[in-house]
Amino acid sequence: MQTFLIISKNKDREKIYINDMRKKQNIDPLDCVFLSTEKTFGIENVRDLQKTIFLKPLKSKEKIVVVEDFQTATIEAQNAMLKILEEPPNNTIIILTSQSIRFVIPTVLSRTTLVHLEDEEKNDRDSKSTEELLKIITMTDEEKLYLAQEKSKDKELAINWVVKLIYGSRNLLLENSSRQNIEMSKNLIESYRLITETNVNTRFLLENTLLKLRQIG
């Protein structure tokens, strides 16, 4: 995959990671383009991106195009980028940077390689996310329904919890890309889309999501 999503609140860490990637791919600094906006990343910015990615590299075989602060992208702009992210030119690496995964729609997530630039604290959190997901899979239906009831009392907390489970499912996919793990990850991403983009009943959604985890686990 040639499209990456970097999650970090540390701009310096982002720059270091991108520069390391550039060096590893033997890409000249002139062929590393940064696109940024002062306010919202909208449709006009998507058009600028389309023009940029189809330009030939100046001094290297490949180029890198970085879309900074993707957390400002509108839903309309993100949807307009799906085709670009899925099939970028062979000579182009696209990198999106965002302060949080919460601002990125699930269909964009599914078309990118996620890079979370945090240190040991992040690794520990990811480990706990995986442990929690595995624990849920082994729960009885009654336990899952009770858990869904508790987690649905605050929608914002419920959203954060679903994101946590998505991280856990990504970790399981890295260990074993089985059909079951792929379906579990898709299920959680779809739940995130529904809870953030529609007026679905939060408790009903979480109940349905957790019961499906048992079926595919």
Q: What is the pLDDT of residue 74?
A: 93
Q: What is the pLDDT of residue 179?
A: 82
Q: What is the pLDDT of residue 17?
A: 92
- Are 66 and 97 a contacting pair, CB within 8 Å? yes
Q: What is the pLDDT of residue 120?
A: 41
- Are 31 and 62 a contacting pair, CB within 8 Å? yes
Edge-to-edge strand list for the sheet holding 113-116: 32-35, 63-67, 92-98, 3-7, 113-116
Reading the chain (217 residues) residue by residue, the pLDDT tens digits are: 588 999 888 888 899 999 999 999 999 999 999 998 878 999 999 999 999 998 999 999 999 999 999 999 999 999 999 988 888 888 999 999 998 887 888 888 888 888 888 654 455 556 678 888 889 988 999 999 999 999 999 998 899 899 889 888 887 877 777 888 888 888 999 999 999 989 999 999 999 999 988 655 4
88-to-13, 65, 180, 208 alpha-carbon distances in Å:
25, 11, 29, 35
Q: What is the pLDDT of residue 215?
A: 52
Q: What is the pLDDT of residue 67?
A: 95
Q: What is the pLDDT of residue 126?
A: 61
Encoded tokens for 179: 């059909």
Q: What is the pLDDT of residue 121?
A: 45
Q: What is the pLDDT of residue 217?
A: 46
